[in-house]
Structure formats: C-alpha cells, structure tokens
Amino acid sequence: MTEIKQNNKSMLQRFMPLIIFSLLVIMLGVGLTLNPRLIPSPLIGKPVPVFELPLLNKDGVFSDKDLKGQITLVNVWASWCYACRQEHEVVKQLARSGLRIVGLNYKDKKQDAIQWLMQLGNPYQVIAADESGRIAIDWGVYGAPESFLIDKQGIIRHKVIGPVSDQENYEALMEAIKTISGNQS
C-alpha cells in the first residue's frame, strides 16, 4: 500500500511542472483574448474628481466646478503622444460639431504643448495643465490619450481609452453623447 502511495506521489511530482506550465499557458491565452480598452472605470456614474489646475496658454485656473452646465468631453493629451496626434483631427471635428472640449495636457512641457497646438490647431475651449500627472491619476488615467464624457451635472458618463479616432471608440462615444443629450435636453 505504501509503495502505491509512493508511486502516485512520484508521478505527481514528475508531472507537476507540466501541469503548472499548462495552467500558465491557458491563463495567458485567455488574457490575450481580452480587449484592453474595455477596462471598466470606477468613476463612471460619479462626479468628476475635485481638482484645480493652472491653464496652459493663459493666466487662470480650471477646476471641477467648471465642468458643470454643459456636456463636455475632457481629452487627456500630450505633445509627446503619437496617438494624440493621430486622434487630433477627430477632436477638431468634434469641436466644430459644437461639442465642448476641454483639454487636459498630461505630463508635458508647456512650450512643447503650445507649439504642438500652433502646428496642429487648437480644438479646446480650455486647456488645463497637469505637468506632474497627479490629477490624471485621480481620474484613473493610464496614459494619453484618454477622454471622459461629462454630463451637465458634472458626472462622468463615458470613458474612452486610446484615440477617439479609432472606429470602435468613436462609435461608442457618439452613442454616449446621443444618450446623454437625449436624457438632458
């Protein structure tokens, strides 16, 4: 009887690395099928975080209180961000359509950001400068670009991770704008 238990234990020990490797491959395989842009934001349905930041291209400050009264897209961007350049034409198009767009310049040098806007155009009604990135952390920003759709009461209703110019992101944003506009007419 002890010999059988010894044999079973020995077999288990021999196959343990294979079992562990197989489990890791399965977990990795499942992880690779997930869409990283579907990261749920715990801030959806909650008021924007309390903040106050200096303006990028003029004197003054911008705060959470300034995000009430109209539907607003807060677009987190930086001059060093390739994907921000990629989405910029769509952001300008959204601004031309009448959507209020506020820029949150993220971990950027002021002069680089101003030059970038002079080159590509400025679609933002207001631009707050978050040089340290601390306020972006409170918003749950992983990196630029990200955008947040805020309703008239200052509640975050939708988050876009990545460029708004990606078809899937754009369609989801348009649907969210339509839903919010219908609910807040």
Q: What is the pLDDT of residues 80-139, one digit of tens each?
A: 999 999 999 999 999 999 999 999 999 999 999 999 999 999 999 999 999 999 999 999
Average pLDDT of the residues of the chain = 88
28 vs 179 pLDDT, higher one: 179
- In the three-class reduction of DSSP (H, G, I as helix; E, B as strand; rest coil), residue 43 is classed as coil
Alpha helices in 34-133 (DSSP H): 82-96, 110-120
Q: What is the per-residue pLDDT for 129? A: 97
Q: What does the DSSP 8-state code read for residue 38?
A: G
What would you measure as the largest C-alpha separation in the chain, in angstroms? Answer: 85
| Sign of torsion over alpha carbons 157, 78, 95, 172 | negative
Percent of the chain topping pLDDT 90: 72
Q: Pick the range with the lowest mean pLDDT from 27-31, 101-105, 178-182.
A: 27-31
42 vs 31 pLDDT, higher one: 42
Q: What is the per-residue pLDDT for 34? A: 54
Q: What does the DSSP 8-state code read for residue 133?
A: S
Q: What is the per-residue pLDDT for 8? A: 61
H or E stretch including 33? helix 2-33
Q: What is the per-residue pLDDT for 3? A: 59
List CB contacts of 66: < 8 A, sequence separation 6 or more.
102, 126
Amino acid of residue 21: F
pTM: 0.78
Percent of the chain topping pLDDT 70: 86
Amino acid of residue 142: Y
Residues 13-40, mean pLDDT to the nearest whole number: 68
Q: Pick the range with the lowest mean pLDDT from 32-36, 70-74, 116-120.
A: 32-36
Burial class of residue 86 (count of CB atoms within 10 Å of its CB; 0-12, 13-18, 19+): middle
Q: What does the DSSP 8-state code read for residue 70?
A: S
- In the three-class reduction of DSSP (H, G, I as helix; E, B as strand; rest coil), residue 48 is classed as coil
Q: What is the per-residue pLDDT for 1? A: 56
Q: What is the per-residue pLDDT for 20? A: 77
pLDDT exceeds cutoff 80 at 26: no
pLDDT exceeds cutoff 70 at 6: no
Angular region, 48: left φ>0, alpha ψ -120 to 50, beta rest? beta
